[in-house]
Amino acid sequence: MKKLLPTSSAGSLPKPLWLAEPETLWSPWKLEGDALHDGKCDALRIALQEQQQAGIDIVSDGEQTRQHFVTTFIEHLNGVDFEKRETVRIRNRYDASVPTVVGPVSRTKPVFVEDAKFLRQQTTKPIKWALPGPMTMIDTLYDAHYKNREALAFEFAKILNEEAKELEAAGVDIIQFDEPAFNVFFDEVNQWGIAALERAIEGLKCETAVHICYGYGIKANTDWKQTLGSEWRQYEEIFPKLQQSSIDIISLECHNSRVPLELLELVRGKKVMVGAIDVANHAIETPEEVAATLRKALQFVDADKLYPCTNCGMAPLPRQVARGKLAALAAGAQLVREELVRKELVRGELAG
Ligand SMILES: [Zn+2]
């Protein structure tokens, strides 16, 4: 029988001090050439070992080989000039200097496939691999070529599909697309965002997930959250259409968040990665706090479809905090798992 409530993290984990400056996004590498390649592999091994030691069931690379969840993928593509930068507003929230799309975009060689093969060799557990989603990719660039958000998103979706197929062949069990932009551009999500995502997963046989969150615990995001009021109903705008999509799993932020969990009813039938760990503070949750969030989610998600997870990536956190949070996630999930098994036993006895 498949394990109930399999745990995983949303994606990134902190990098070791010797590889990159800790507690920073876009932190430059501290190594070069072959030493950098070996260093990334070693960091990936450590990230895996820490997840396994914490008791995480579906493991990942902790994004140890990338500087940033969107830009590292784009750096490997043709058609984007990283020297030519323009300032744009990202997710309607903060200004950033971003690279420019100067011509047709294409992928000349695999981006993460070797890393995924390496991870596959290191573990027999199910593995999840994160890729940026098409809408979040276009939102991180200045487009001087297509001059059309939808057209560029579909070009990226085609490229993501090529990469995803090779990741699947490398033995990845779940391919996840990170789409924080889905929480901002509701009209576009419904008009073409979900369709672009469908293009990215076309023909895949492995499971697919979309991660939609309120972002890393960086200041621009926590300030934005202050403006969202007492109830965060963003998911309500996009869930009906996502429920109809062919995406298997939806990964969401639920812990310490003002998202009314009854919104999960709108995606009934999908598997849900329920964020039960806050990534915006350094306090390590108790297993009981994690369990409380999971129990609430169980009112709206069938037990066999609930996947306990973190709210978002943990790259900006101190390493010991991230380790503690992973262990709390596993321990909290175990509490609820035992409750479910006990209930099932009681039900079995009553039936027998
Ligand atoms: Zn996230």
**pLDDT tens digit sequence for 134-152:** 999 999 999 999 999 999 9
Could you tell me the distance, in angstroms and rounded to a whole number, from the CA of residue 69 to the centre of ligand 1? 10
The three-state (H, E, C) secondary structure of 97-146, written as one string? EEEEEEEEEEECCCCCHHHHHHHHHHCCCCEEEEEECHHHHHCCCEECCC
Helix (H) or strand (E) holding 226: helix 219-226
Nearest to 249 by CA among 289, 282, 222, 209: 209
Could you tell me the distance, in angstroms and rounded to a whole number, from the CA of residue 208 to the centre of ligand 1? 16
Could you tell me the distance, in angstroms and rounded to a whole number, from the CA of residue 68 to the centre of ligand 1? 12
pLDDT at 91: 83
pLDDT at 18: 97
pLDDT at 84: 96
Strand order, beta sheet including 94-107: 77-90, 94-107, 142-143
Could you tell me the distance, in angstroms and rounded to a whole number, from the CA of residue 314 to the centre of ligand 1? 9
Those residues whose beta carbon sits under 5 angstroms from the ion ligand 1 are 213, 312
Could you tell me the distance, in angstroms and rounded to a whole number, from the CA of residue 214 to the centre of ligand 1? 6
Residue where the block lists tokens 């062949």: 169
pTM: predicted TM-score of the whole model, two decimal places: 0.95
Could you tell me the distance, in angstroms and rounded to a whole number, from the CA of residue 81 to the centre of ligand 1? 26
Could you tell me the distance, in angstroms and rounded to a whole number, from the CA of residue 216 to the centre of ligand 1? 6
C-beta atoms surrounding 186 within 10 Å: 16
Could you tell me the distance, in angstroms and rounded to a whole number, from the CA of residue 179 to the centre of ligand 1? 8
Could you tell me the distance, in angstroms and rounded to a whole number, from the CA of residue 217 to the centre of ligand 1? 9
pLDDT at 352: 63
Could you tell me the distance, in angstroms and rounded to a whole number, from the CA of residue 162 to the centre of ligand 1? 23
Could you tell me the distance, in angstroms and rounded to a whole number, from the CA of residue 18 to the centre of ligand 1? 25
Could you tell me the distance, in angstroms and rounded to a whole number, from the CA of residue 222 to the centre of ligand 1? 13
Could you tell me the distance, in angstroms and rounded to a whole number, from the CA of residue 195 to the centre of ligand 1? 21
Could you tell me the distance, in angstroms and rounded to a whole number, from the CA of residue 334 to the centre of ligand 1? 24
C-beta atoms surrounding 254 within 10 Å: 24
Q: What is the DSSP letter of 20?
A: B
Q: How far apart are CA 195 and CA 175, in angstroms?
A: 17
Could you tell me the distance, in angstroms and rounded to a whole number, from the CA of residue 311 to the centre of ligand 1? 6
Could you tell me the distance, in angstroms and rounded to a whole number, from the CA of residue 252 to the centre of ligand 1? 8
Could you tell me the distance, in angstroms and rounded to a whole number, from the CA of residue 31 to the centre of ligand 1? 27
Could you tell me the distance, in angstroms and rounded to a whole number, from the CA of residue 26 to the centre of ligand 1? 15
Low-confidence ranges of the chain (pLDDT < 70): 1, 352
Could you tell me the distance, in angstroms and rounded to a whole number, from the CA of residue 139 to the centre of ligand 1? 15
Helix (H) or strand (E) holding 210: strand 207-212
Could you tell me the distance, in angstroms and rounded to a whole number, from the CA of residue 122 to the centre of ligand 1? 25
